[in-house]
Amino acid sequence: MKTIGLFALLLLAFANHGLAQNRADQEEAKQINIVHGANFTKNEVDYPGASIFSKDERQVQFEHQGADLWCDVAIYYQLENRLEAIGNVILKQGDSVQMTSKKINYLGDDKLAKAWGNVILKNASMTLKTDTLRFDREKQEAFYRDNGTVIDSANTLTSKIGKYFMELKKYQFLDSVHVQNPEYTLDSEQLDYYTTSKNAYMYGPSTIVGEAYKIYCERGFYDTKIESGYGIKNTRIDYNNRIIEGDSVYFNKANEFASATNNITVTDTINKGIIRAHYAEVHKAKDSVFATRRAVSISVQQQDSLYVHGDTLMVTGKPEERLLRAFRNAKFYKTDLSGKCDSIHSEQKTGITQLIKNPVIWNGANQMTGDSIHLKSNLKTEKLDSLKVLRNAFIISLDSVSMTGYNQAKGINLFGKFIENELKLIDLVQNTEVVYYMYNDDDELIGIDKTVCSKIRITMEENDIENLTFFTDPDGDIFPEKDLPENSRILKGFVWRGDERILTKEDIFDEDDNNLELVVIQGIDNPIDIDAEEQQRGQNESDPVNKIKTDNAIDPKAKATKKKVN
């Protein structure tokens, strides 16, 4: 038993010795080492406990855990394992990082360097300049808070506060961030910048100004190499005489293209027209806008806005020659005038708006139909000038007194005249017929006028029929109500579409429009791991298939979520 006890004590002693040796080795590894001390002095009054080294024919040199430091004068506190380097200081970390300054305080235990005076930090791809810099070699991070400038092959970046993450090759700039490039400038409250990809991620109010565009956002991404990116918070792009706003807005200079998703407004700064939608594209080369998903075009005509809707809207052409087209389920609305058809074509140069395929318009309570309908605006005043209903023209209005019968007039063609945006005169020509309920001043029915002639002129007042004039051998009479059967009171081709009448600007949208499911914009409520995305992007840069996957991962448009839009 005594032998076993002695053996255990020996084992314990050896173990303690090993632990002590381990700690000693670790402490020695942490110690700052003198490589070249040159001239040696002591000054216990000013620098108690320090060894002072100064250069001779070469600078003083120290080494510490993979880093070398040169200076003119070094004040070395060996017991505290810290060093003050003064004059032409150079700190190198392997072959990748070099920092120069007038002075460095270096803490060996923490591997922390603080540099002052014309500090320059360099690696193979960039240069950082500042007056004071903290360099944490343990975390591989550098930090400044007194203004700094970073220069790489693409950009010059300045900010009041900055942090450099060496392993990620990423800068985080704060406060008065400015990026200067020969092609553009970028200003931001906060910006993360990856030196390998040259990608910038903006947080807070940010503005990018290029030769032919201006971008504002409060959260966004920008590829500084190709001038392409997106904003996902309060984004606005001024581009090609248009202002594009939306929940998510994308821009690509090389492709001369911009697009937007969710709650979009595209404003024509020259013609003052507006398009609202939940998806839109702007093509600079074609000078065009494409919009869909609850899309509506809004133009102001003498303080009376005209709203045009279609499943798809397209605006093309130069500013003075804009052409608006609304496809499928097209509708329009303005005060006292509205309509619907399969498609609408409106040409600014001629002032003509065409309603194509199964058109119907309502002027007040008057319904007008025909094979095609044309509205013409005065190019100078931009007010409505005239109206054409071509082939099978038909006007119907519900009798406002009896609320049972219908006033009707039909002909081959119809020509109308507007005065101050109000329809005042209507001419129906060729094979015209009329059925009209006539009343005295006391709203007592006189009879029902049923007449056939070659032409009918209708004068209007406040969107109601004021007078009827028949031309060229009118044939007809005013019949007492009891003498005109119900079936004789309806003209051939009569189709009443009163339940389709558009009474407000909201009526241009149907149920599908009002129950759209908006896509989720990534990066707001579901934040993206940007560091991981950047690493993946770097790995896949040379693989086109994987690159597409990575780009899609940070696309601001993503899968749909159930969210109704009103």
Does 379 share its domain with 420?
Answer: yes
| Residue where a domain terminates, one of 468, 484, 508 | 508
Q: In this predicted structure, what is the pLDDT of residue 121? A: 93
Q: How confident is the model at residue 518 (pLDDT cuts 50, 70, 90)?
A: confident
- Residue 425 counted as domain residue: yes
Contact 42, 62 (CB under 8 A): no
Q: In this predicted structure, what is the pLDDT of residue 557? A: 43
Q: What is the DSSP letter of 518?
A: P
Does 454 share its domain with 532?
Answer: no
Does 382 share its domain with 475?
Answer: yes
Domain that holds residue 551: 519-560
Q: In this predicted structure, what is the pLDDT of residue 527? A: 57
Does 444 share its domain with 337?
Answer: yes
Spatial distance between the Cα atoms of 391 and 399, rounded to a whole number of angstroms: 25
Does 470 share its domain with 360?
Answer: yes
CATH number at residue 486: 2.60.450.10
> Does the pLDDT of residue 302 top 60, yes or no?
yes
Q: In this predicted structure, what is the pLDDT of residue 523? A: 67
Q: For 414-453, how does the pLDDT look when each residue is reduced to its tens digit (9 = 90+)?
A: 999 988 878 889 999 999 999 999 888 888 899 999 999 9
Lowest mean pLDDT among 137-146, 457-466, 496-505: 457-466
Enter the tokens of residue 4. Answer: 């076993």
Q: For 133-178, how does the pLDDT look when each residue is reduced to its tens digit (9 = 90+)?
A: 999 999 999 999 989 999 988 899 999 999 999 888 889 999 999 9
Lowest mean pLDDT among 14-18, 347-351, 425-429: 14-18
> Does the pLDDT of residue 333 top 90, yes or no?
yes
The mean pLDDT of 516-536, rounded to a whole number, is 74
Does 529 share its domain with 482?
Answer: no
CA 299, chain centre distance (Å): 22
Q: How confident is the model at residue 516 (pLDDT cuts 50, 70, 90)?
A: confident
Q: For 359-411, how does the pLDDT look when each residue is reduced to its tens digit (9 = 90+)?
A: 999 988 899 999 999 999 888 877 888 999 999 999 999 988 888 889 999 99
- Residue 162 counted as domain residue: no
Enter the tokens of residue 66. Answer: 């993979």
Does 552 share its domain with 421?
Answer: no
- Residue 229 counted as domain residue: no
Does 532 share its domain with 398?
Answer: no
| Structural domains in the chain (count) | 2
Q: In this predicted structure, what is the pLDDT of residue 26? A: 52
Q: In this predicted structure, what is the pLDDT of residue 28? A: 57
Task: Classify 81 in phi/psi space as left (phi over 0), alpha (psi -120 to 50) or beta.
Answer: left
Q: How confident is the model at residue 540 (pLDDT cuts 50, 70, 90)?
A: low
- Residue 278 counted as domain residue: no
pLDDT above 90 coverage of the chain, percent? 53
Q: In this predicted structure, what is the pLDDT of residue 124? A: 81
| Residue where a domain terminates, one of 468, 488, 508 | 508
pTM of the model: 0.78
Spatial distance between the Cα atoms of 502 and 517, rounded to a whole number of angstroms: 24
- Residue 463 counted as domain residue: yes
Q: For 305-332, how does the pLDDT look when each residue is reduced to its tens digit (9 = 90+)?
A: 889 999 999 998 888 888 999 999 999 9
Q: What are phi and psi of 507, to 5 degrees?
A: -70, -10
Does 467 share its domain with 413?
Answer: yes
- Residue 566 counted as domain residue: no
> Does the pLDDT of residue 295 top 90, yes or no?
yes
> Does the pLDDT of residue 188 top 90, yes or no?
yes
Q: In this predicted structure, what is the pLDDT of residue 531? A: 79
The end-to-end CA distance of the chain, in Å, is 90
**Residue 173, number of CB atoms within 10 A of its CB:** 26
Does 405 share its domain with 550?
Answer: no
Does 423 share its domain with 529?
Answer: no
- The average confidence (pLDDT) of the chain is 85
List Cα–Cα distances, 315 to 244, 346, 430, 451, 497, in angstroms. 14, 9, 37, 45, 30
> Does the pLDDT of residue 8 top 60, yes or no?
no
Q: In this predicted structure, what is the pLDDT of residue 154? A: 82
Q: What are phi and psi of 54, to 5 degrees?
A: -135, 155
Spatial distance between the Cα atoms of 409 and 415, rounded to a whole number of angstroms: 13
Lowest mean pLDDT among 38-52, 317-331, 392-406, 519-533: 519-533
In 3D space, the residue among 159, 152, 164 whose CA is nearest the CA of residue 206 turns out to be: 159
| Residue whose entry in the numeric block shows the structure tokens 């109500």 | 481
Q: For 210-244, how does the pLDDT look when each residue is reduced to its tens digit (9 = 90+)?
A: 988 999 999 999 999 999 999 998 999 998 888 99
Does 440 share its domain with 537?
Answer: no
- Residue 200 counted as domain residue: no
